[in-house]
C-alpha cells in the first residue's frame, strides 16, 4: 500500500513539475494544483497511513491514526484554494490586460520595462 501511495505522490509531483514548466498560465496553474495534491498527501502520510482507524474517539477503541497531520492538511487544503484563486485571478487579469497569457516576459515587455 505504501508503495502505491508513494508512487502516486511521485507521479503527481512529476506531472505537476512538467506542467509548471509550460509557457502559458493555465497549465502552470494546473501544475501548481497537482503539486498541491502531492504535497498535501505527503504531509498527510507523515502520520503513517492506516486503514479504518479515524481519529474520532470511541469508548471501546484504543487505536487511532495520527490526527495532527490531518488537522494541518485540512487547513492547507483550504488555504491552497485561496492561493489558487489568487493565482488564477492574477493570470486572468494579466491576460485580459494584455491579450497574452505567457508566463515569461516577452521580448517586447522587457524593452518596455527598461525604456
- x/- binding map, residues 4-43, to other proteins, per CB under 8 A? xxxxxxxxxxxx-xxxxxxxxxxxxxx--xx--xx-xxx-
Nearest approach in angstroms of CB 108 to other proteins is: 12
Site for other proteins in 38-97 (CB under 8 A): 38, 40-42, 44-58, 64-68, 70-71, 73-75, 77-86, 88-93, 95-97
Query: Residue 108, interface with other proteins (CB under 8 A)?
Result: no
Minimum distance, C-beta of residue 115 to other proteins, in the bound complex (Å) = 15
C-alpha to C-alpha distances, 99 to 1, 23, 93, 96, 107, nearest whole angstrom: 47, 15, 10, 6, 15
Contact between 16 and 31 (Cβ < 8 Å): yes
The CA R_g of the chain, rounded to the nearest whole Å, is 20
For helices 25-45 and 2-20, what crossing angle results, to 10°? 160
# residues near other proteins by CB under 8 A? 87
C-alpha cell at 74: 485540512
Minimum distance from residue 59 beta carbon to other proteins (Å):
9
Beta carbons within 10 angstroms of residue 53's beta carbon: 12
Amino acid at each position: 500500500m505504501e508503495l502505491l501511495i508513494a508512487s502516486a505522490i511521485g507521479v503527481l509531483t512529476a506531472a505537476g513539475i512538467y506542467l509548471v514548466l509550460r509557457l502559458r498560465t493555465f497549465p502552470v496553474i494546473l501544475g501548481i494544483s497537482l503539486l498541491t495534491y502531492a504535497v498535501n498527501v505527503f504531509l498527510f502520510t507523515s502520520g503513517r497511513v492506516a486503514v479504518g482507524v479515524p481519529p474520532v474517539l470511541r469508548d471501546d477503541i484504543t487505536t487511532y491514526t495520527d490526527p495532527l497531520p490531518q488537522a494541518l492538511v485540512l487547513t492547507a487544503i483550504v488555504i491552497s484554494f485561496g492561493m489558487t484563486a489568487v493565482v488564477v485571478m492574477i493570470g486572468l487579469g494579466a491576460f485580459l490586460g494584455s491579450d497574452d497569457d505567457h508566463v515569461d516576459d516577452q521580448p517586447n515587455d522587457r524593452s518596455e520595462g527598461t525604456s
